[in-house]
Amino acid sequence: MITLGGQILQSEPEGYATIRPGIVEIADGRIVGLGFGQVSNKVDHGGPDALICPGFIDTHLHLPQFDSIGAAGMRLLPWLQDVIFPAEQRWNDLDFARSMIDRVTGQCLGVGTTGICAYATVDHDATIAALTAFGEIGFRGVIGQVMMDRDAPPPLLRPSEQLVDQVARTLDRFPPDGPMAAAVTPRFALSCSEALLEDAGRLAASHDAIIQTHLAETVAECDAVGKGFGGRDYVDVYDGAGLLTPRSILGHGIHLDSPSQDRLARRGSLIAHCPTANSFLGSGTMNRHSHRSHGIPVTLGSDIGAGFERSMVRVGRAMIEAAMRISIDAGHGVDDRTRIPSAAEAWHQITAGNADALGWDDVGRIAVGRRADLLVIRPDIAWLDSRQPLAALMFAWDDRWIETTILGGRVRFCSA
Burial class (CB in 10 A: 0-12, 13-18, 19+), 312: buried
Q: How far is the CB of 68 from Zn ion (least distance, A)?
A: 12
**Which residue, 25 or 303, is less far from Zn ion as judged by CB?**
303
For CA atoms 63, 356, 259, 288, the dihedral sign is negative
**Which residue, 120 or 393, is less far from Zn ion as judged by CB?**
120
Each residue 201-240 as x (binds Zn ion by CB under 5 A) or -, in order, gives ----------------------------------------
**Which residue, 148 or 392, is less far from Zn ion as judged by CB?**
148
Q: What number of other Cβ atoms are within 10 A of residue 348's Cβ? A: 27
Distance, CA of 274 to CA of 407 (rounded, Å)? 25
Whether 25 contacts 374, CB under 8 Å: no
Q: How far is the CB of 160 from Zn ion (least distance, A)?
A: 21
Terminal Cα distance for the chain, rounded? 21
Distance, CA of 179 to CA of 74 (rounded, Å)? 36
Q: Which residues pair with 115 in a beta bridge?
A: 57, 140
Q: How far is the CB of 403 from Zn ion (least distance, A)?
A: 30
Q: How far is the CB of 60 from Zn ion (least distance, A)?
A: 6
Task: Please tell me whether residue 275 binds Zn ion under the rule CB under 5 A.
Answer: no
Q: What number of other Cβ atoms are within 10 A of residue 286's Cβ? A: 26
Tell me what percent of the chain is helix, strand and coil, each rounded to the nearest 5. 40, 25, 35
Q: Torsion angle, CA of 56/104/80/129, rounded to 10 degrees?
A: -110
**Which residue, 251 or 379, is less far from Zn ion as judged by CB?**
251
Q: How far is the CB of 148 from Zn ion (least distance, A)?
A: 13
Q: How far is the CB of 58 from Zn ion (least distance, A)?
A: 11
Q: How far is the CB of 28 from Zn ion (least distance, A)?
A: 36
Each residue 284-323 as x (binds Zn ion by CB under 5 A) or -, in order, gives -------------------x--------------------
How many residues belong to the site for Zn ion (CB under 5 A)? 2
Q: How far is the CB of 70 from Zn ion (least distance, A)?
A: 16
**Non-local CB neighbours of 205 within 8 Å, separated by 6+ positions:** 242, 245
Q: How far is the CB of 62 from Zn ion (least distance, A)?
A: 6
Decide: helix, strand or coil at residue 64: helix
**Which residue, 2 or 286, is less far from Zn ion as judged by CB?**
286
Instruction: Report the residue from 54, 251, 305, 408 that binds Zn ion according to the rule CB under 5 A.
Output: 251
**Which residue, 138 or 251, is less far from Zn ion as judged by CB?**
251
Whether 245 contacts 216, CB under 8 Å: no
**Which residue, 6 or 251, is less far from Zn ion as judged by CB?**
251
**Which residue, 61 or 131, is less far from Zn ion as judged by CB?**
61
Chain residues 337-366 in contact with Zn ion, contact rule CB under 5 A? none
**Which residue, 251 or 297, is less far from Zn ion as judged by CB?**
251
Is the preceding peptide bond at 353 cis, omega within 30 degrees of 0? no
**Across 274-399, where does the E strand assignment appear?**
298-300, 374-377
Distance, CA of 134 to CA of 139 (rounded, Å)? 5
The contact set with Zn ion (CB under 5 A) reads 251, 303
